[in-house]
Amino acid sequence: MPAEPFLPTRKTRDRSRGPVPTDVDVALVGAGTGSLTAAAYLAKAGLKVACFDPHYVAGGCATQFARGKRSRRYLFDVGLHYIGDCAPDGMFDRLLKPVGVELEYEAMDQDGFDVLVFPDRRFKTPAGVDNYEARLLEHFPDEKKAIRRYMKMLRQVDGAIDALEATHGQMNWRLILHVLLRGHLLPFYQGATLGAFLDTCTDNMPLRAVLAGSHGDHGLPPSKVSLLHHCGLMLHYLRSGGWYPKGGGQVMADALADRIEEAEGTVLLQHEVTKIAVEDGRAVGMTVADRKGVTQEVRAKAVVSGADIFLTMDRLLGREHLPKSWVKQRDSWEVPDGVFMTCLAVKDDLAARDFGRRNYWTFDHYDVEAYYRDNDKDGRPNVQGAYITSATQKDPTGGHHAPDGVNTLEVMALLPGRPDVWGLEPDDFTAGDYRKKPEYLARKQRVEDELVRRLDDLFPGVGQHIEFRESATPITQVRYTRAEGGSGYGLAQTPGQFGDNRPSWRGPVPGLYLAGMNTRSGHGVAGALHSGRTAAAIVAKDLGVTIPE
């Protein structure tokens, strides 16, 4: 029987059974977006590359999974639910086209790609910085001074981003000139949190909650998240609105993997890197194990790790190889909360319900800090809001997300990833039997039921039409991506872990480079792509070649 054209696992067999190359120019840990991007650039530059990943699909968080029989198949996105800056010649084109990847993107509702739903108010976030300011003034006419101050900061960061993008994130004269002439607020608040800056703007709780409304995109309250990161994230979407890659997140990952293979590189799935080899203080390769535990050594001129930073430092490299400065950093790192996701298939007409090409963020109250302070109330997961999105609504012509007449939905909540919150002991996960623990299953079911209830509250009656449901906890994230704390966002974007305070693309030992959401490029799909391109440029320079522009 031929493979289904859009099944995420359609290339799993071929990419799992290939030979392990014993000698390459660049060996990469993982096949997430960062590693794939780095490998694609390096392969395009003529280097022999190989990515190794324990999962059965390539893409890391930018993957999909399928459920149901072939005659009634549902596809769900793991982590790529919407992205920004996808207009022609936008960020994604600039990062992907040099390696031969050209995707189509579906634009989300330009008048409100994000809908913030509070008990007594709805706020639709429109595309365009000026449109956003006008919408804020419309909802909060008595807060003009506060809104003007916030928007002034946003626009100053926008100018700084333009200057940085001109040199792929490196300090340059355009940035210095912008700060001197137009960025008067930037020097004073570059190390501030969003909460600290909002304190200088307003004490209006509803306005503060709206301004921080997409906090689920980084998993931190205003009192912890870097102001500059918040502004950059807002601008990523505001510049041209929200977008969704036609076909889903797996399309991007597979396109990158295809370009690597076309350049005679290797993407080997279901093969886990168990150790980075270090000789005379330099990374020289890795040990790779297949599904049966059979290991093989791979030699390389350079090693790039796109894996979780804690996994890379503690297990793959080993603390014995970390310089003292890295040990100190590693022991101070913190991660944001994890994500609980309930995937649903509903035989219902969401278009008739005016669901639209939008994301819905629901909140029980205006106290954003409480969402994090009380999300493990009494030691158990405590849901106070939800993020709701639908691939079939964002990509109505994709044709493969669900059978005709059926819509897929993902309903998510930020919750702690600590084992005790889920009724587990640390050893339960190590032993691999956590999924059978009655208390874990009970807590998981309670959260799933709560998220379904919230969906039904927002769109009454939808709950009666559910024909498939399945959930993943933050513990599930650990299982598939090895991410610390079950977070899909890497290191928390606090002021102390933002920008240059994050790990560089050069690792702690010569020959080791870093890519992915924990680097200075930041988290999310855009950050991972940037990290891969930047890591590739550094590796290429060290190996005497040039990556495509």
Report the distance separating Cα 67 and Cα 115, nearest Å.
29
Cα separation values, 397 from 246, 402, 407, 425, Å: 8, 11, 12, 45
Strands (E), 237-293: 242-245, 266-269, 272-279, 282-289
At 166, the pLDDT band (50, 70, 90 cuts) reads: low
User: How many other C-beta atoms are found inside a 10 Å radius of the C-beta of residue 71?
Assistant: 6
At 508, the pLDDT band (50, 70, 90 cuts) reads: very high
Secondary structure of 451-475 as H, E, C letters: HHHHHHHHCCCHHHHEEEEEEECHH
Report the distance separating Cα 490 and Cα 527, nearest Å.
11
- List the single range of 480-484, 493-497, 529-533 with lowest mean pLDDT: 480-484
Tens digit of each residue's pLDDT (9 = 90 or more) over 385-420: 999 999 999 999 866 899 999 999 999 999 999 999
Question: Is pLDDT above 60 for 3?
Answer: no
Report the distance separating Cα 254 and Cα 238, nearest Å.
27
The whole-number average pLDDT for the span 470-490 is 86
Average pLDDT score, the chain? 92
The whole-number average pLDDT for the span 424-435 is 76
Cβ atoms 162, 168 nearer than 8 A: no
Angle at 129 between CA 92 and CA 195, to 5 degrees: 100
Higher pLDDT, 486 or 500: 500
Question: Is pLDDT above 90 for 168?
Answer: no
All residues at 6 or more sequence positions from 277 whose CB lies less than 8 Å from its CB, including other chains: 283, 284, 285, 286, 287, 297, 299
Question: Is pLDDT above 60 for 169?
Answer: no
Question: Is pLDDT above 50 for 338?
Answer: yes
Cβ atoms 256, 99 nearer than 8 A: yes
With CA atoms as reference, report the closest residue to 27 among 14, 39, 15, 40: 39
Cβ atoms 215, 370 nearer than 8 A: no
What confidence score (pLDDT) does residue 178 get?
Answer: 42
What confidence score (pLDDT) does residue 177 get?
Answer: 46
The whole-number average pLDDT for the span 466-473 is 96
At 481, the pLDDT band (50, 70, 90 cuts) reads: confident
Tens digit of each residue's pLDDT (9 = 90 or more) over 52-110: 999 999 999 899 999 998 889 999 999 999 999 998 889 999 999 999 999 999 999 99
Tens digit of each residue's pLDDT (9 = 90 or more) over 187-205: 888 899 999 999 999 999 9
| Percent of the chain residues topping a pLDDT of 90 | 81
Question: Is pLDDT above 50 for 309?
Answer: yes
The whole-number average pLDDT for the span 350-375 is 96
Report the distance separating Cα 48 and Cα 25, nearest Å.
5
Report the distance separating Cα 255 and Cα 349, nearest Å.
32
Cβ atoms 513, 356 nearer than 8 A: no
Question: Is pLDDT above 70 for 183?
Answer: no
CA-based R_g, the chain, Å: 23
* Predicted structure pTM score: 0.94
